[in-house]
Amino acid sequence: MVRTKSKDTLPDVELRLSTAQESARRSQGAASEVYKRLRRAIVEGEIRPNEPLIEADLAQALQVSRTPIRESLQRLAADQLITPRKRGWAVREYSLEEIRERSEVRAALEGYAARLAATRATDAEIAAIVAIQDERDRTADLTPAYRVEANRRFHDAIIAAARNTRLADDIFRVGQFYFNKHIAKLTTDEERRLNQQDHREIINAIQARDGRRAEDAMRSHIMQTFTVFQRISGN
Amino acid sequence: MVRTKSKDTLPDVELRLSTAQESARRSQGAASEVYKRLRRAIVEGEIRPNEPLIEADLAQALQVSRTPIRESLQRLAADQLITPRKRGWAVREYSLEEIRERSEVRAALEGYAARLAATRATDAEIAAIVAIQDERDRTADLTPAYRVEANRRFHDAIIAAARNTRLADDIFRVGQFYFNKHIAKLTTDEERRLNQQDHREIINAIQARDGRRAEDAMRSHIMQTFTVFQRISGN
DNA sequence: GCATGCAAGTTCGCATGCAAAGTACGGACA
DNA sequence: TGTCCGTACTTTGCATGCGAACTTGCATGC
């Protein structure tokens, strides 16, 4: 009997992968495609937390055998996106406490990246960062999706300027769960204003080549983002 | 034809795994055992960098089929211990540049851990950290293995006091390649003296509950360790 | 002597079979 | 009615088969 849940309509949208993850895998083949799809489905919330992942069902839905499914589940577990059950795997649920921990890790890593960027960025890279933020401020179309994208580009530009691919990969790993469009929809005007102000402070510090100030600004920006989470989940 | 390299004599010593990694996997079964053995063989240098890993050979050597071997290779790739070739996998080689990048990541993470420890550690935890270092200073038997162990315990105690399991896991991930007994053998007396001095400075800052100073001290300690690497590989 | 192309051998990616471990359900008994 | 237990079913872990992709090495021509 064929089981059809929502799984057989998984979207096949392209996923951004960190460079190391991309290069650490054969980037083509059935297993890789399965991995991208499952990852997308989990990150987007299509597969609910604690929902068990049945190998045979996924194989059926994605029209491959269980072997590439199993390989993908291994990768997802390494990404901490799924967690082992006595039997099989389930989508991982993140407690507020865990999000706090991850926020601290991100503050440590991305703060350090901002510090490095302040000393290592070329003038062109700084100009690019400023341009991204300027465009964000100029844009009228502030849909959640656009805000997520603009935010991501801002952070990515700083991380790139830090010139440390391992650091960039680890930031991607820990940060991949945050600020998606679902969250973006729930922010208040005041929070957005604070957010933009934070970005400007980071930019100012980098322009001044002040590593310590850039690091502090990035850290408090990230921990500020956590308080938004806290508000949203705490209501 | 059966190929017998050194692989069929892989040691089956217990491996310390980070909590998340341990819990992220079924901890029993053939695949898990294979993973531990291969990991050990790579970290210990039994399998040389760039040496290709042939699924069938490993299966033969470890007396399992290719399936658990393939699963283990996936995990090792996630750990960044092996890297994909056009065909198959090979043990990863670390350039000095990559070690520098990893050192920076470790400085960011473990520095932050030291900062958190300075504010969060209980008096008992601080006493434990001090006790570890006192014992190290008192011990006459300074074999490389002992020094590695004492160093690890010192760092672990601080990380534990930071009370952030995710941070601890990420530090383990990035730091697992450093300061093993091969490296410990190559350090100079002066480097060891500096090392112990660094540890004392970190302790002092934590005792003073000075997060910023603890963070700075830990960072410079870790980057100092990198310069030792540089010296060793640069000769 | 060197390059080029072809063929044989190697190794992998994926599919599938099977046994064992786990799970749920229904019936019997308190 | 509630609990305990056995049985049938589900789902996994591991083994293995097969076709395809890549590599290697030799032969042939320039």
Tens-binned pLDDT, residue by residue, of chain A (235 aa): 333 333 333 333 333 445 555 444 555 677 888 999 998 888 777 888 888 999 999 999 999 999 999 999 999 998 888 999 888 899 988 888 988 999 999 999 999 999 999 999 999 999 999 999 999 999 877 888 888 889 999 999 999 999 999 999 899 888 766 677 778 888 999 999 999 999 999 999 999 999 999 999 999 999 999 999 899 887 5
Dist. CA A35–CA A68, nearest whole Å: 8
For residue A31, the domain's CATH number is 1.10.10.10
Strand C closer than 7 Å to the CB of B53?
A: yes
Same structural domain, A58 and A173: no
Last residue of a domain, one of A51, A70, A91: A91
Strands, sheet with A89-91, edge to edge from the N-terminal-most edge strand = A52-53, A89-91, A82-84
Rounded to a whole number of angstroms, the distance from the CA of B212 to the nearest CA of chain A is 11
Do the domain assignments include residue A61? yes
Question: Which residue type does B128 have?
Answer: A
Q: Is pLDDT larger for residue A24 or for residue B189? A: B189
Chain A residue at shortest CA distance from B78: A78
Same structural domain, B230 and B147: yes
Residue for token digits 């507020």?
Answer: A96
SS3 content of chain A, % helix, strand, coil (to 5): 70, 5, 30
Dist. CA A73–CA B33, nearest whole Å: 19
Number of domains in chain A: 2
Strand D closer than 7 Å to the CB of B116?
A: no
Same structural domain, A117 and A218: yes
Do the domain assignments include residue A172? yes
Nucleotide nearest to B56 (CA to C1'): C11
Same structural domain, B167 and B55: no
Same structural domain, B141 and B46: no
Same structural domain, B86 and B162: no
Last residue of a domain, one of B91, B114, B148: B91
Secondary structure letter of residue B82 according to DSSP:
E
- In the structure, how far is the CA atom of residue A65 from the C1' atom of nucleotide C7, in angstroms? 33
Strand D closer than 7 Å to the CB of A55?
A: yes
**Which residue segment(s) compose the domain that A152 sits in?**
96-234
Same structural domain, A53 and A157: no
Do the domain assignments include residue B112? yes
Do the domain assignments include residue B101? yes
Q: Among residues B92, B167, B31, which one has the least CA distance to residue A23?
A: B92
Do the domain assignments include residue B1? no
Do the domain assignments include residue A1? no
**A interface with B, Cβ–Cβ below 8 Å:** 20, 23-26, 70-71, 74-75, 77-80, 83-84, 98, 101-102, 104-105, 107-109, 111-113, 116, 164-167, 170, 174
Same structural domain, B131 and B156: yes
- In the structure, how far is the CA atom of residue B87 from the C1' atom of nucleotide D28, in angstroms? 29
